[in-house]
Amino acid sequence: MPCLNEAETVETCVRKTIGFFEDSGIDGEVVIADNGSTDGSQQLAREAGARVVPVVDKGYGNALMGGIRSARGTYVAMGDADDSYDFTTLGPFVEDLRDGADLVMGNRFQGGIAPGAMPKLHRYLGNPVLSFVGRLFFGSKIGDFHCGLRAFNKESIMRLGLQTGGMEFASEMVVKATLAKYDIRERPTTLSPDGRTRAPHLNTWRDGWRHLRFLMLYSPRWLFLIPGLVFMTLGLVAGIALSFGPVRIGEISFDVDTLVGAGAALVIGFQAVLFALLTKVYAMQEGFLPHDSRVQKITDWWSLERGLLLGGLLAVAGLGGLIASVMHWRVNSFGELDPRESLRIVVPAATALVVSLQAIFASLFVSILGIRRRQHPPLTDPAEEAAGVVDAAAHKVASEEAAETKAETVKAGSDEVKAAKSEAAE
């Protein structure tokens, strides 16, 4: 349980959980991940039977990860220490974990939300919208992305490499578990009004934005690829149509002004598609996102040479268009031109040149991302080096012992000579 000044409720939560362990015959512990409480929550939790783990880094996610790392059990359940969740209902969660589930999520919309337990803005807009976005972007089947009561196999969750420190931690766990193709299940969960008199730590707009931002950044397909393809398609279709003359739809006429916009849309769309590819390659190499065989096939095919060739062909086409525009100008004695005629040559040519440079730069950048850092083996084997050090030390000790023995022998001989001289004198 993450805890930050929960003196009013933490003792109740701990005692309920310990009672659940005793009634269910579970060998378990209660870990309070304290995030810097100043109201005596730590002592109250210890007196109730919990183990308190101090977590220095502030934030909901940081507190939870500190507690998860410190947990000693095979399975871990997490929940808020504000008494809004009933920890005595964890039995079905444990059953699913023992049945092989990696993550068991609570679902408050299936189990029931008591009056006053959740603000209407969260209940009817925030949670449903963000959960829908998560399902759409990542193909998840989870209905309540942000339920605070969940249980999981500790080893499975630790493999995910969770990194976020704030409230978006709740989304990160579900997203990464989904991408890793974990066995994720849901159980109906009841949410009750919390037992605190202070305001909750959750900030509606700030934390809602952090959740949405995380979902977008972890989905290059929806952030870059799909919008980019839409812009490219509209720009290409409109550009080709307007390059041959005005287009009328009903009483509306589209001409060279729209052609300029179509060229801009094509460039923006192509750049967004490149961003999607580059982001995916980088995220795969750094382990932020799982390996994608489709992206791997594209990068394997799109070599630096092919990218330079494609960019070169587009550049030639663009230069050809610019030359044609100069010839058109020459035909008009380098005088004033009709924009409706000249722009139909210049805009496609300029667009082709811009796209060609984008293709060339992207090819170079993909090649840079493909460079692997390599660590050369050491010149000497560490085992042999250690053995050499041991041999040198043994040799030094043996030399010192031999020197001591020799010194003792010389001293003994000297004493014998002195004794013999003394006897002769007598």
Over the chain, what is the mean pLDDT? Answer: 88
Residue 27 carries which side chain, given as an amino acid letter? D
Domain ranges of the chain: 2-217, 220-369
Q: State the pLDDT at residue 371.
A: 75
Question: Which distant-in-sequence residues (6+ apart) come within 8 Å of 217 by Cβ?
Answer: 223
Examine the pLDDT at 96 and tell me if it is beyond 80.
yes
- % of the chain exceeding 70 in pLDDT: 87
Whose structure tokens read 């509306």?
Answer: 252
Q: State the pLDDT at residue 408.
A: 61
Report the CATH superfamily, name and number, of domain 2-217: Spore Coat Polysaccharide Biosynthesis Protein SpsA; Chain A (3.90.550.10)
pLDDT tens figures, 212-246: 999 998 899 999 999 999 999 999 999 999 988 89
What is the separation, in whole angstroms, between the first and last Cα of the chain? 96
Q: Is 177:160 a contact under the CB 8 Å cutoff?
A: yes
What Å distances lie between residue 38 and 9, 42, 52, CA to CA? 14, 9, 14
Q: CA-CA distance, 245 to 321, in Å (whole number)?
A: 17
Bridge-based pairing state of the strands 31-34 and 51-54: parallel
What pairs with residue 78 in β-bridges?
A: 150
Angle at alpha carbon of residue 289, lines to 287 and 295, rounded to 5°:
110
Name the band, by pLDDT with cuts 50, 70 and 90, for residue 200: confident
Q: Is 20:88 a contact under the CB 8 Å cutoff?
A: yes
Chain CA centroid to CA 38, Å: 32
Among 32-46, 87-101, 364-378, the range scoring the smallest mean pLDDT is 364-378
* Structure tokens, 243: 């390059």
Q: Alpha helices, DSSP H only, in 287-338?
A: 293-301, 304-331
Examine the pLDDT at 410 and tell me if it is beyond 80.
no
Examine the pLDDT at 350 and tell me if it is beyond 60.
yes
Question: Three-class SS of residue 326?
Answer: helix
